[in-house]
Structure 1
Amino acid sequence: MSRPVRQSSALFYRAKWRVFCGWCEPRGLDPCSASVVQLADFFLFLFESKRLSVSAIRGYHCALAPVLRQSGIDLSTDQDLSSLFRSFVVSCPPRLPRLPAWDLSLVLRSLLCPPYEPLQSASLRDVSLKTVFLLALTSARRVNGLHGLLAEVHHSKSWTSMTFSFTPDFLAKTQCPGQHSFDEFTIPALLDFVEEDEVDHLLCLVRAVCEYLHRTRDCRPACSRLLVTVSDPRRAVHPHTLSK
């Protein structure tokens, strides 16, 4: 039984397949019965003419493999294609990953000072930035996970923790349709680890979310998501905005 494919993955595969069909058409080739030699020519075209990276070409490899497997061509085991991709890597070695250009300790120190503190007198924009950053840091969620959080946040009786849950339509990046949905998660208050008179308590997520919910109460329950835009009309913030 084939594994279900997310809608975003299906769109990705179809886009790659259309490019391959567009390459085959002027050459009089049937894309569904292409030979290994013809596939190698296509990958060379992507590498030499389109100047695509090796990882991008591997994306085409993954997109074409399920269709061509029905014609008896298994791209995953073909040694000639494997050798071709090795030559791509030798010709264009991958760049070493660069370390982030920002300093976490510097950011955290900045969040202890104006314009983010005192929190009660900070602007909604600054409260939002501080809340989103602390939420991303403490929850270790992807952007789409932050975007899918419900505005209804539950807290313990003495506000020593907060429990976050997701909207019913939330689908994680690594989750396929029909799979078990992601469960809620709980984050403890920082006061469980530092004293109230210590400056680090200003980095408490529970404290920031309390202030954020208070500032955005005017758009509840019209907007069911936790994170909303700063400007009117208030609506759920777009994932691209969260990334930026």
Structure 2
Amino acid sequence: MVLGPDFPHRRLSLGDSRQEGSPLTGRGFLPSPPAGAVEALGVASEGAHLLASGLSTEVVETLLQSRAPSTRKLYALKWKLFTSWCGRRQQNPVNCPVGSVLEFLQDRLSAGLSHSTLKVYVAAIAAYHAPLGGLSVGRNPLVTRFLRGALRLRPPVRPRVPSWDLSVVLEALCLPPFEPLEEISDCHLSFKTSFLLALSSLKRVGDLQALSVAPSFLDFAPGLSKAFLHTRTGYVPKVPSSAPRPVVLQAFCPPPFREPDQEKLNCMCPVRALDAYVHRVAPWRRSDQLFISFGPQRRGLPASKQTISRWIVKAILLAYESTGLPPPLGVKAHSTRSMAASKSFLAGIPLQDICNAAGWSTPLTFVRFYRLDLLTPGSSVLPSSF
């Protein structure tokens, strides 16, 4: 549920919350709400807390929009699970003591959840739970100690290298079933284009999904030397910036070719693949979104983030399959960001420029999660244009 201009203001009022028996004022048993009302309950309770602090309804509505729709959806799911857990124990999820929150977190930890997932649960509960001793649940000393203990008991394990080799994939993109570009199927063209755009732009899948082909949102420079892509109007990225930047793709060795290696590099060119994709799907396009589904049931309709992620993973797996190598395990679309960011840093590109392109608010993200050892020593890497 998104709290927008049509949201009835009275739902945020404290008076109506009491009249409807909201858990904000009650201290007894609160039955588990229906699944469809969970997010509404959470948003209403959070809004009521903000109103109680003296803020106007308009300000509260703006504050509630500070979270991305995906974050609100994730918090709603976690809040639903916590609400159900409290309901089975006849406890009020909005006003239960910190001990109940800790018991719930321990239950999740015993079920095998990681420290990072527990942090999401704490953030979701803190968004809707009443303050404890003047502090949010997430800042309660016992909760923070519990999370530190969970981190020691179950430290994260990050692989030092990705499960797939970039050189293998790039070599395979120059051969069937990914070439010749004019003759390959719609699905292989979708796989190749989405992979090359993810790799060359360093963007999240959500950012790729937001790209548009509407007039003035996609432009090619003369001779297909560059491509300029913009996200649809109103799109808010995971890390908002004051000045949205277009995605600028540089062509690799456009024809005429002087050497055989130049023609091979051109097979990896994201501008070439993008141009071929846009023209191929134009006759059956039913959406301004750049990436659209090619399947018979949703042909021409916008592709979801999950679909684009599958395309990127499929490109990697097919590359291995076409070269006769065993497919790697645990491939994720997000790994293209770490691969491209590490290569760019090794190529001497300033770290701040990498962060700007990837949409990271601070270089600390790269230092923590996108390390130089993601590239295996001696392996082939992306062309210098990436």
Q: What range is the shorter-chain TM-score in?
A: 0.7 to 0.9
Preserved CA contact (<8 Å) 1:159 1:189? yes
So what's the TM-score if we normalise by structure 2?
Answer: 0.55
Among candidates 236, 243, 249, match of residue 187 of structure 1 = 249
1:167 matched to 2:167: no
* Aligned mates of 1:226, 1:140 — CA distance in 2: 17
Preserved CA contact (<8 Å) 2:132 2:140? no
* Aligned mates of 1:92, 1:64 — CA distance in 2: 21
* Aligned mates of 1:96, 1:206 — CA distance in 2: 33
Q: Matched residues, percent identical?
A: 26
Matches within 5 A, 1:149-228: 149-152=211-214, 153-175=218-240, 182-191=244-253, 197=259, 198=262, 199-220=264-285, 222-228=286-292
CA drift at 1:208: 1.6
Spell out structure 1 runs of 4+ moving beyond 4 A.
Answer: none
Preserved CA contact (<8 Å) 1:150 1:225? yes
| Partner in structure 2 of residue 241 of structure 1 | 307
Preserved CA contact (<8 Å) 1:171 1:181? no
**Any idea what SS the aligned residue of 2:137 has?**
coil
1:124 matched to 2:189: no
Paired residue type of 2:82: F
* Aligned mates of 2:250, 2:158 — CA distance in 1: 37
**Any idea what SS the aligned residue of 1:132 has?**
helix
* Aligned mates of 1:169, 1:191 — CA distance in 2: 35
* Aligned mates of 1:132, 1:100 — CA distance in 2: 19
| Partner in structure 1 of residue 112 of structure 2 | 51
| Partner in structure 1 of residue 349 of structure 2 | none
**Any idea what SS the aligned residue of 1:31 has?**
coil
- Greater alpha carbon shift after TM alignment, 156-165 vs 78-87: 78-87
* Aligned mates of 1:185, 1:94 — CA distance in 2: 33
Among candidates 89, 93, 107, match of residue 27 of structure 1 = 89
Among candidates 81, 85, 104, match of residue 42 of structure 1 = 104
So what's the TM-score if we normalise by structure 1?
Answer: 0.82
**Any idea what SS the aligned residue of 1:186 has?**
strand
1:196 to 1:229, Cα distance in 2 relative to 1, 3 A? farther
1:240 to 1:72, Cα distance in 2 relative to 1, 3 A? same
CA drift at 1:195: 5.2
CA deviation profile, 1:14-52 (whole Å, cap 9, x unmatched): 33333333333343433333323333222222223x432
Superposition CA RMSD, Å? 2.9
* Aligned mates of 1:238, 1:23 — CA distance in 2: 32
1:238 to 1:33, Cα distance in 2 relative to 1, 3 A? closer
User: Is there any run of 5+ residues in structure 2 with no aligned partner, and where?
Assistant: 1-58, 311-386
* Aligned mates of 1:17, 1:126 — CA distance in 2: 40
* Aligned mates of 1:98, 1:236 — CA distance in 2: 35
